[in-house]
Amino acid sequence: MKVHYITALSMTVGLAIGAVAVHSLHAQNTPPVYLITEIDVTNPEGYQKEFLPVAWPTIKAHGGLTLAAGQPTSISGDPTRSRTSILQFETMEQLQGWMNSPDWQAARAIGLKYAKYRSFAVPGVAQQ
């Protein structure tokens, strides 16, 4: 009888380990989400001194990464805005959590005094 309990326990532990491994592998294959923002800065000094020092820490605090920020170079099409930024978040929910957070909303209110924004999220592509 003891052998049956040991076998059942071993199978249960094996299933649990397998479930954790599958969940970890699935999480690794989920591509990130990118937030691309085109920015028309109307007051560079205010934008630099009042908005950026408040805005950047909110991104990091919510798990975001800044991949690129600055003056873009136009390759084709319409002229670029004065600035562009590309942020990365693990999920759309994480991105939305940051955008809806009180700290970002306070920073955004400052930013709107110095610039106009056009933002859009783009899902990443799973690497194979």
What pLDDT score was predicted for residue 93? 96
Q: Give yes or no for a contact between 33 and 122, defined as CB atoms under 8 angstroms apart.
A: yes
Do 38 and 19 lie in a common domain?
Answer: no
- Per-residue pLDDT tens for 71-106? 999 899 887 888 999 999 999 999 999 999 999 999
Q: What torsion, rounded to 10 degrees, do the Cα atoms 4, 5, 11, 14 define? A: -140
Q: Average pLDDT per run of 10 along the chain, which is 128 residues long?
A: 58 59 59 96 96 96 96 88 94 97 97 96 88
Structure tokens at 33: 């989400």
Which residues span the domain enclosing 39? 31-123
Do 36 and 21 lie in a common domain?
Answer: no
Cα(72)–Cα(41) distance, integer angstroms: 13
Amino acid found at 26: H
The domain tally of the chain equals 2
